[in-house]
Chains A and B, each alone.
Chain A
């Protein structure tokens, strides 16, 4: 670690991992409710568990992105962070606001939460992933602005690299697009349309810039490949991301009341969205093959390669699977969507945050470059357990989805009602829940690996 102020990333990463654990626990609760319908009813109804599951994911990924920025921007800019104190203050504000929101979800009925937080003044609640009370949303904007200011000032006073510039563009886009969450018209069609300006343009737009920048940073550090080469790749990848991803938004505009021309635009452009992910895979493996050093942190390199592969599979392949409008007509809003969502979020965003944590954490904990052999082996076991478990979760949900579509949406008069079909495919939900417990085992191992000591592993080449 070259700059003292990079240390502020540490609490961000610790909070991220803590919330990640919470997310998985609620995921398992939901998975159980899928097969034992009255589990925890009416104390924690499914909608509450889901809200906690998805909101924790979003918040811990944001913690991860912010931690990553605080860690890598000083190093890229070759200067101390503009204000470590501001970074620390925002950390506590964000953590307390996030915790209070989650407690609110669990402690009182959602309608009460809406009432208590004054949702009537500026109604923004009750929309998927944007369930946060309006005051929490305002808090998120304030934290995001303070964070952006801090990062931008650091970049401005130091060396300007492509990595930090791309990261900054991604983060700025993230903050600006979130403002659409405050637009909630009475007209459901307009509401749905602009809701995607947050959700799609985040995860299939600007978040990919953040992902690309973090991946490029870790590859520069661990492979020793010339920065010029890596940054050229980064530009090409993010160019393809936005060229395909912006109009790719159209794949959400097939069946929500928007004009039919989106079926053509959305199909064509979103069919191209796997390209940047494929390039990312080629990029990551090429750079590691051309490495000029043997970085002692094998686990971080594994996470980086894993990110590239799993993002391509989850976002690229599983996205393509149901993105063409004639296919999507049948798959829309089925378990296929859930399958894609799980692997895409894990592969692209969970894994990139775990990559930067794996790379940065040993140094923030006082080691020269990497953990002991023993700790790394355990971390790599956790990598494989979580990743393989996620592959199986995705496969089981895909199987459930195919059966659901066949029974519920095809077969003419023989088509069966939703709830009947759910019982017919329960076997696959049980299998998914089993894979979920394997995932939890991997996660526990991941946390334990931080407490494994031993002699630090040194550079070998």
Chain B
């Protein structure tokens, strides 16, 4: 890179290019935020879903599981677990409740979090709500 192409020109491309794309990105951010209510069904976010998300966070569930493909890859995807468990909140609650305290010899096992009935109900509602978000038909199949 020599000759006619100067450092000043390179600098101007950096500032001009960055400013332009930052502007586009901000515009798209507003457009996306405006389009989300159609897709995320936020009218269904009730107190239970809110509690469920807090339980999800406070127990660092994302440290093992993925949720909509984001998180750790140690345990199953949960954005569609509601569907995988036969559209049943009870199945989700039953699974979380029944985890052995000392694990399973030689195998991966979810810890026993000792959640209250209210918290269990919240998590199940949160996962049900998540399964209903329009996420462009991901994951590819029921196995997540």
Contacts and interface: CB of A to CB of B under 8 A. Distances in A.
Interface of A: 30, 33-34, 36-38, 41-42, 45-48, 50-51, 110-111, 114-115, 119, 123, 125-128, 131, 162, 184, 186-193, 228-229, 231-233, 235-236, 238-239, 242-243, 246-247, 249, 253-260, 262-263, 265, 329-330, 332-335, 337-338, 408-410, 412, 415-419, 422
Interface string B23-57: 01100100111011001101001000110011011
B127 to A, nearest CB: 10
Given A41-B103, A126-B60, A128-B71, A253 B32 contact: yes
Contact of B45 (A46, A126, A187, A417): A187
Contacts of B102: 41-42
A255 B69 contact: yes
B1 A236 contact: yes
13 contacts: A126-B61, A186-B45, A192-B68, A232-B1, A236-B14, A239-B10, A242-B22, A243-B17, A246-B18, A255-B136, A333-B70, A415-B141, A415-B142
A127 B69 contact: no
> Top 6 closest A-B pairs, CB basis?
A47-B63, A126-B57, A333-B69, A37-B108, A235-B10, A255-B138
A242 B68 contact: no
B93 interface: no
Nearest to A236: B10
B18 A46 contact: no
Contacts of B7: 162, 228, 231-232, 235
B106 A37 contact: yes
A416 B73 contact: no
Given A232-B5, A256-B68, A242 B32 contact: no
Interface of B: 1-2, 5-7, 10-11, 13-14, 17-18, 21-22, 24-25, 28, 31-33, 35-36, 39-40, 42, 45, 49-50, 53-54, 56-64, 66-77, 101-109, 111-113, 126, 129-130, 133-136, 138-144
Contact of A51 (B57, B63, B74, B77): B63
A238 B15 CA distance: 10
A46 B72 contact: yes
B21 A247 contact: yes
Nearest to A335: B73
Contacts of A229: 1-2
A111 B134 CA distance: 30
Given A126-B62, A257-B135, A235 B72 contact: no
A337 B42 contact: no
B32 A259 contact: yes
Contacts of A228: 7
A58 to B, nearest CB: 15
Given A242-B17, A257-B134, A418 B143 contact: yes
B73 A338 contact: yes
A188 B53 contact: yes
Nearest to A240: B17
A410 B92 CA distance: 25
A330 B32 contact: no
Contacts of A258: 32, 36, 39
Contacts of A236: 1, 10, 13-14
B25 A249 contact: yes
A46 B141 contact: no
A417 B10 CA distance: 52
A47 to B, nearest CB: 3
Contacts of B6: 232
B103 A409 contact: no
Contacts of B24: 246-247
B21 A242 contact: yes
Given A255-B138, A259-B35, 19 more contacts: A36-B106, A46-B74, A47-B63, A50-B63, A111-B59, A114-B57, A115-B58, A188-B126, A236-B10, A242-B18, A243-B21, A255-B69, A255-B136, A257-B39, A258-B32, A333-B68, A410-B140, A418-B75, A419-B108
Contact of A416 (B25, B66, B105, B143): B143
Given A243-B18, A249-B25, A126 B56 contact: yes
Given A119-B58, A243-B21, A334 B138 contact: no
A198 to B, nearest CB: 13
Most chain B C-beta atoms within 10 Å of own C-beta, residue among A329, A333, A335, A410: A333
A74 B66 CA distance: 44
A256 B32 contact: no
A310 B73 CA distance: 24
A409 B141 contact: yes
A38 B53 contact: no
A44 B17 CA distance: 47
B135 A255 contact: yes
Given A193-B32, A255-B135, A48 B63 contact: yes
A394 B11 CA distance: 36
Contact of A246 (B25, B56, B130, B135): B25
